Each structure stands twice: as structure tokens, then as C-alpha cells.
Amino acid sequence: MMTTVFNIENLNLFYGDFHALKNIDMVIYKNQVTALIGPSGCGKSTFIRCLNRMNDLIPEAKMEGCVRFDGEECQIGGYDVIGLRKRVGMVFQKPNPFPMSIFDNVAFGPRQQGIKQKEVLQGIVEKALKQAALYEEVKDRLTSSALSLSGGQQQRLCIARALALEPEVILMDEPTSALDPLATQRIESLINDLKEDYTIVIVTHSMQQAARISDYTAFFYMGELREIDTTEKIFKAPRLKQTEDYITGRFG
């Protein structure tokens, strides 16, 4: 029996009058990679932003329903949102390193948490960079600007920055769509390594990427979760014709 990290029940989200997510029921399993696929505007990104309450930052977004993280309702007032975002890290489509050194980028979160001792920070930064498979490439220039790194390296730096806070879940919103094939391959292989210790939810437009890296695939369409199943089942014989039509490129 697999442990669940997120239990989502009857989740609805509105941007003003626009009903962006409709009655989503979904479970996210621990140490599994769950890929979210579906045409643009189907609600994938909006959905993952519910998982660490990033939608709180959008004034007109209104959420209904229940999202339980680690058994606890995390959408209610009074819930420790900062703590939630520490435990549920996020990596975005475009690498967004801060305009500071490689070291300071990774140390940023831990410093915010109040960690000051140099040796402790060094240990955290080294560990996170190693986990993000970037350490060997940057170990001799940790004080250089993060902006001097290539796009693929910047994205791995952002993953290291998320890992430095020792999250339980990493949300990735099209993390490779701005990267070349080799950099994409490195991130994909990294995702595969990371799932040993983390739960990963990834939004992707690449069907092949979903097929390569995920354990579960969820198909969203017009704000609804239409089908979720093991990735093998989805790409071998999905239950719904609509899913089949989407993954085979017949629409979308």
C-alpha cells in the first residue's frame, strides 16, 4: 500500500468568474513522480499552484474544497503557509536564479530559516548541489554569479535551491521547456534520482517526457481531471477516448 502525500477532494478554483478547476479528486503518492498533462489552459499549472498555495498570491483566485497535505487540511486560514512552501518546493518553467552568487542562491532559503553558521551553510549548499547533479560543474566557482551559468545549469541550481530547504515534495512547472535536449536529459535523469527521497509533481507538455519519467499520469481537460492512472496504462491503453485522442495527437 503506497503512502499518500496529498489528498485532494472536490477542489474548485475560480479566477473571478472563470471556473479554472472543477471538482478535482486526486491522490498524490509519496516517492512517486506524477505527471500532469493536457492542452494549454486546462488547469495543470493552476492545480499544482494549489498544492503549495501559490494561488494565494493572485487576488482574484478563490478556492473551494479540501487539500490535505500529510493528513492535514492545508488550505484553511491559520495554516502555516511559509512552512508549507518549505515542505513543498517549486521549480518554474524558466530558470529564475537570484542575481547573486551560486552559493548565495542555494544558501538563500536556509539563511531565511535563520541558519547563520558558515560551516553549516557550506554543508547544506554542497549537499543540495550534489543532489541536483551540479556540484562537480560549479564547485570551483561557487562565488561566481548564478547568471553566468548555462540555462540547464541555472535550472539545476533552482532545483538545488529548492532542495536546500529539504522539502518533501517538489512541484515542477514545465521545468525543461526552456532547455536544450541534453540539459533536458540531465534534468529528467535527476528527477529519476530524486524520487528516491522526494515526491515529485511535474507539469509537462511533452508526452514523451511524461512517459519517460513519471509513475502516474493525470490528464486534465478544461479544468477537469479527466483521467489518472499509472503512466504505462495511460500510454498503452487509456480508459477514455479523449485521453487517447490527446496523447496520440488527434486533438489539443
141 touches another protein (CB under 8 A): no
Residues of span 181-210 touching another protein by CB under 8 A: 207-208
151 vs 157: CA distance, rounded Å: 10
Q: Please state the closest distance from residue 128 (CB atom) to another protein, in A.
A: 34
211 binds another protein (CB under 8 A): yes
Packing angle of the helix pair 151-163, 118-131 (nearest 10 deg): 120
Q: How many residues bind another protein (CB under 8 A)?
A: 13
244 makes contact with another protein (CB under 8 A): yes
Say whether residue 236 binds another protein (CB under 8 A): yes
Cell of 170: 517538489
Position 237 contacts another protein (CB under 8 A) = yes
Determine the interface stretch with another protein among 11-19, 137-145, 180-188, 243-251 (rule: CB under 8 A): 243-251
Nearer of residues 181 and 249 to another protein, judged by Cβ: 249
Q: How far apart are CA 43 and CA 117, in angstroms?
A: 42
Using CB under 8 A as the binding rule, whether residue 167 contacts another protein is answered as no
Give whichever of 23 and 185 is closer to another protein, judged by the CB atom: 185
Q: Which of 127, 125, 177, 124 is nearest to 152 (CA)?
A: 177
Q: Which one, 120 or 237, has the nearer CB to another protein?
A: 237
Q: Which residues bind another protein (CB under 8 A)?
A: 207-208, 211, 235-238, 244, 247-251
